[in-house]
Amino acid sequence: TAGETLLEVNNIEVIYNHVILVLKGVSLKVARGGITALLGGNGAGKTTTLKAISNLLQSERGEVTKGTILYEGERVQHLDPAALVRRGVIQVMEGRHCFAHLTVEENLRTGAYTRRDGRTAIEADLEMVYGYFPRLKERRRSQAGYTSGGEQQMCAIGRALMSRPKTVLLDEPSMGLAPQLVEQIFEIVRAVNENEGVSFLLAEQNTNVALRYAHQGYILESGRVVMEGSAAALRENDDVKEFYLGMS
Ligand code: ATP
């Protein structure tokens, strides 16, 4: 049911290269059916937290050395990223990784690779994605590498949706995009959340926009959660206003 805890990170510690302690005991919860924002400045540990959840740290020589990660009540630290995708958790990496030499539509189709249901379901989901991102439909035959930054971000999110996720870990969707486009992307995230019931954990440096769309928020500083609460409460908090919203 909506509102219950879907994903729970308990006191995790992450170390890179055996020596660099980056997460110093991070705990957070993602509610089913919610949008949870993970906020903080450059290098605070947002990406590391997302990668710890989706088990993508290994290739970066990073390791969760303490704490637990529970998804739907079960420990998922032993699952590889593909197994997690089958469980319904997918990460959209920072920097909108699309395959540059594939067309937009081919990129979207690669998102369905872990699925075992038939062609019809996949075609229906392609139309679902095009419904949210009409721009991608217009650009479907273009090579992704030649599309704009905003279109590539849409393509990366659309591809994630093609795996029929329950939870999307979205890393810095606003990065490098003009304000109007940022709003557009967040509007779509909200619509997908409301209409498809997909939960989001989104890492953002843009506190202002993230707290307008999220339900809950956590603020990270140097690998620790320094503040948490409902988005509405965080928006009204004096420290958040002064240090993160740029209006004291
Ligand atoms: P950004 O917005 O820049 O991505 P972030 O909050 O996502 O910031 P992380 O990318 O998680 O922060 O980085 C947290 C800290 O970990 C930084 O000090 C960074 O230099 C360090 N770090 C990240 N990746 C590695 C790595 N592979 N090896 C060593 N240190 C790393």
Q: Is the CB of 173 under 6 A from ligand 1?
A: no
Q: How many helices (H) does the chain have, and how many strands (E)? A: 10, 10
pLDDT tops 80 at residue 223: yes
What's the pLDDT band for 247 if we cut at 50, 70, 90?
low
Give CA–CA dist 68/76, Å, rounded.
8
Q: According to the model, what pLDDT value does residue 248 have?
A: 40
| Distances from the Cα of 157 to the Cα of 176, 183, 198, 199, angstroms | 16, 15, 12, 13
Question: In the predicted model, what is the mean pLDDT of residues 159-164?
Answer: 95
Question: In the predicted model, what is the mean pLDDT of residues 4-20?
Answer: 96
Residue nearest to atom 19 of ligand 1 (CA): 43
Question: In the predicted model, what is the mean pLDDT of residues 100-123?
Answer: 88
* Residue to mutate, 22, 59, 169, 219, ligand 1, most ligand atoms under 8 Å from C-beta: 22
Question: In the predicted model, what is the mean pLDDT of residues 196-224?
Answer: 97
Q: Is the CB of 20 under 6 A from ligand 1?
A: yes
